[in-house]
Structure 1
Amino acid sequence: MTIALSSQTCDDLFEETLEQMRYLDPEDEADVIIPFPAELGRGLTRLIDLREEVWLAMDYHEPLAKLAFSCEEFHQPDFLRVGFHLSGIHHSPSVTVCPGEYSLAGSGASHKGVYVTTEGAVREIAFSISIEEMRSFFGQLPAGLQPLIGSPDQLSFIRGYRTTPAMQIALQQMWQCPYHGVMKQRYLETKIWELLLLSVEPLLEESSAPEKLPSKLKSEQVDCIHAARKILLQRLENPPSIAELARLVGLNDRALKEGFRACFGTTTFNYLHHYRLEQAQQMLLAGDLKIEVVMQRVGFTSRSYFAKAFRNKFGMNPGDYARRYRQIL
């Protein structure tokens, strides 16, 4: 089932929820909770205006069904938006962001088309920083970040990347911020700048790297490789072999292996391994499943191997992690 909405209808529904807005921090009137529209599901968004040109949003919602809303072209304000997907999958005309990934979106014209949020719980931490604030922070905006600045007639830059362990730690600390008032504002703003520096690293590395030979991948091959990734993520419990996966998407084994590494920077095995662990992380945080069930749902058969892999990625055993970080918005 899919709920289809126009962007105007979506805006109207969310505007109506503003009447139910409430203040979360008695020491900060710029820290508010806004409910998710009841017509679409349930959940909350916490919005914090840290200062005039720095916004933070912490979102958790469970839509009634897959949401699809059409978007007409419009000019994005001169802000950089960084959105970290902790759970849920978001499809847009230009990028698909899965759990354990984040998106970078700059200013310019929006990408016209249909935006889709999949069924199930969606958990995201996002922040917006004005381009002027970034210039002030960096002194002079590095050349590698110039693609983030688009004119009104230029499509905005938007791209997805993998969330690193350092980012995951900072995100967990933000979600569990223990402070109030001014201390909270300073703490969260410090974390935002930390995450900003980490999130733009790929762009800075790309700009400073020696020029590479043009990719040999054709657009049709790239489509096949993205289709292969989708199949992998849909079959966590029983993933196909490389040979089967290649056959399903119409490539030979070598083309799939080389193309997957070119597109995602790793092998299909490593990509699936880390995705499984990130899915397990989200299930543990939700708190309604035992470790054995979580392990099986993401495709692990050995509890000791799962515990070791989880510990290597997140720094602690699954049970300790769930007890320490389980928290609702």
Structure 2
Amino acid sequence: MSVRHHIDDYEIDDPDSQRTHGSADQLRHSGHYRLNIEGPFGHGWHEFCRLSDGYFAIVSEIKYHMPQADYISSPDTLHIYLANGGDGEYVPAGGEPLSFEAPAAVIMLEPAGAAAAEVCFAGDTQYIYIAIHRDALQAIFAGCAHQLPVILQSFLKGALRHTIGRAVRLDGGLLRCLGEVHDCTATGGRRRLFLQAKVSEILCRMVDALESREALHLAEATPTTVRGVFKAQNLLAEKFAAPPSLEELAETVGLSRSSLCNGFRQVLGMSVFDYIHDLRMQKALLLLGDRDASITQIAYAVGYNRASSFSVAVQRRFGTTPSELRRKAIASAG
């Protein structure tokens, strides 16, 4: 499944899936409709509600007769999943699985360029799923983004390099929102207005939960640490092939080594080493499109002393060899 992420055309709306998996109640007034599901894998319904460009919610009640897995691609998107029934799992490419076992409250941040994640559902599911494109999130919090948790600020700045998932405590307020949405009997415009209010409340409550120590499992980074991490990002972007030591980097940006390392994990969701590796792989992809540079030359250019080490790193990151990546890059360019 691919979630279209253009800001002016953002909804899950695949006509083929309607023909294959169910029939749509034609209630598509302003992007609000219900999709009935009936198939060998399960039965139930999805209700889609578009709140604004790049901002939608799906209310769902599905009984799965067997686990249902799919891949979903939605780069540059904040996801919220709130469930009081069913089981499931979200597995970002190259990342750790995040459980959806109900009752559950989960928030995921997918940066631009993120590979498709695997999502699996099972059992009698009852949930609300909310997706907000980064542009829409910026519009919602225009003028007050600095008050958001640091990890959301990093997402809005486009500073995240890998998908980040957090399970948060499903408190009484979130449970109440979930129950009120599923128990609501309003129809038409009144139901749409009700859903908009509840989705906004859920977003606020999830942001509050993300801000707590319990949600992050780490204390929030201080403004000094955040500034130091952003300075380190800029410096490493220029010197990733021959980066300074952690001690040198920390001293340059005005932090202790431990504050720098913890800050990277808090703000960017990765270690300093992983960030450097990410920069090297991005540069390598660009250079592999150059017919005149050899694989060995590219390896040296991005900081590897041996072509063999570079090949291993590329294989682990992209699942293929540098030569194959080069072949694809040249073929797509010409």
TM-score by length of 1: 0.51
Partner of 2:281: none
Partner of 2:44: 43
The offset of 1:57, in angstroms, is: 0.7
Q: Could you give the per-residue CA deviations for residues 34-66 of structure 1, whole angstroms, max 9, x where no partner exists?
A: 133513221111112233332121111122212
Is the 1:17–1:35 contact (alpha carbons within 8 Å) kept by the matching residues of 2?
no
Partner of 1:127: 130
Partner of 2:196: 189
Partner of 1:176: 183
Kindly tell me the number of residue pairs found equivalent between the two proteins.
Answer: 198
Partner of 2:60: 59
Distance 2:138 2:116 in 1: 28
The offset of 1:29, in angstroms, is: 5.5
Distance 1:153 1:196 in 2: 20
Question: 2:209 matched to 1:202?
Answer: yes
With over 3 angstroms needed to count, the CA separation of the structure-2 counterparts of 1:29 and 1:140, relative to structure 1, is closer
Q: What's the secondary structure of 1:98's corresponding residue?
A: coil
Which residue among 166, 172, 196 is the counterpart of 1:165?
172
Q: CA RMSD in A?
A: 3.5
Q: Specify the code of the residue in structure 1 equivalent to 2:167.
A: G
Question: 2:121 matched to 1:117?
Answer: yes
Is the 2:90–2:119 contact (alpha carbons within 8 Å) kept by the matching residues of 1?
yes
Partner of 1:83: 81
Q: What's the secondary structure of 2:211's corresponding residue?
A: helix
Q: Specify the code of the residue in structure 2 equivalent to 1:88.
A: G
Distance 1:183 1:165 in 2: 25
Q: Specify the code of the residue in structure 1 equivalent to 2:109.
A: G
The offset of 1:162, in angstroms, is: 2.4
Distance 1:52 1:191 in 2: 18
The offset of 1:184, in angstroms, is: 3.0
Q: Specify the code of the residue in structure 2 equivalent to 1:140.
A: C
Is the 2:80–2:130 contact (alpha carbons within 8 Å) kept by the matching residues of 1?
yes
Distance 1:23 1:13 in 2: 15
Question: 2:144 matched to 1:140?
Answer: yes
Distance 1:29 1:17 in 2: 24
The offset of 1:17, in angstroms, is: 4.1
Stretch moving more, 120-129 or 33-42: 33-42
The offset of 1:126, in angstroms, is: 1.3
Distance 2:221 2:48 in 1: 41
Is the 2:41–2:67 contact (alpha carbons within 8 Å) kept by the matching residues of 1?
no
Is the 2:104–2:167 contact (alpha carbons within 8 Å) kept by the matching residues of 1?
yes
The offset of 1:89, in angstroms, is: 1.1
With over 3 angstroms needed to count, the CA separation of the structure-2 counterparts of 1:146 and 1:183, relative to structure 1, is same
**Structure 2: tracts of 5 or more residues without a match:** 3-13, 92-96, 223-334
The offset of 1:134, in angstroms, is: 2.4
The offset of 1:130, in angstroms, is: 2.8
Q: What's the secondary structure of 1:163's corresponding residue?
A: coil
Q: Could you give the per-residue CA deviations for residues 281-325 of structure 1, whole angstroms, max 9, x where no partner exists?
A: xxxxxxxxxxxxxxxxxxxxxxxxxxxxxxxxxxxxxxxxxxxxx
The offset of 1:110, in angstroms, is: 4.3
Distance 1:29 1:202 in 2: 31
Q: What's the secondary structure of 1:200's corresponding residue?
A: helix
TM-score by length of 2: 0.50
Is the 2:63–2:125 contact (alpha carbons within 8 Å) kept by the matching residues of 1?
yes
Question: 2:162 matched to 1:155?
Answer: yes
Distance 1:65 1:123 in 2: 16
The offset of 1:178, in angstroms, is: 4.0
Which residue among 68, 89, 110 is the counterpart of 1:107?
110
The offset of 1:84, in angstroms, is: 0.7
With over 3 angstroms needed to count, the CA separation of the structure-2 counterparts of 1:150 and 1:61, relative to structure 1, is farther
Structural mapping, 1:207-246, within 5 Å: 209=219
The offset of 1:176, in angstroms, is: 2.7
Q: Could you give the per-residue CA deviations for residues 169-223 of structure 1, whole angstroms, max 9, x where no partner exists?
A: 11222223343444333322121111111112232234894679xxxxxxxxxxx
Q: Could you give the per-residue CA deviations for residues 227-249 of structure 1, whole angstroms, max 9, x where no partner exists?
A: xxxxxxxxxxxxxxxxxxxxxxx
Distance 1:123 1:19 in 2: 18
Q: What's the secondary structure of 2:129's corresponding residue?
A: strand
Partner of 2:232: none
Q: What's the secondary structure of 2:144's corresponding residue?
A: coil
Is the 1:46–1:57 contact (alpha carbons within 8 Å) kept by the matching residues of 2?
yes
Higher-Rg member (1/2): 2
Distance 1:113 1:136 in 2: 26
Q: What's the secondary structure of 2:168's corresponding residue?
A: strand
Partner of 1:254: none
Is the 1:36–1:44 contact (alpha carbons within 8 Å) kept by the matching residues of 2?
yes
**Structure 1: tracts of 5 or more residues without a match:** 1-5, 213-329
Q: Specify the code of the residue in structure 1 equivalent to 2:75.
A: P
Q: What's the secondary structure of 1:64's corresponding residue?
A: strand
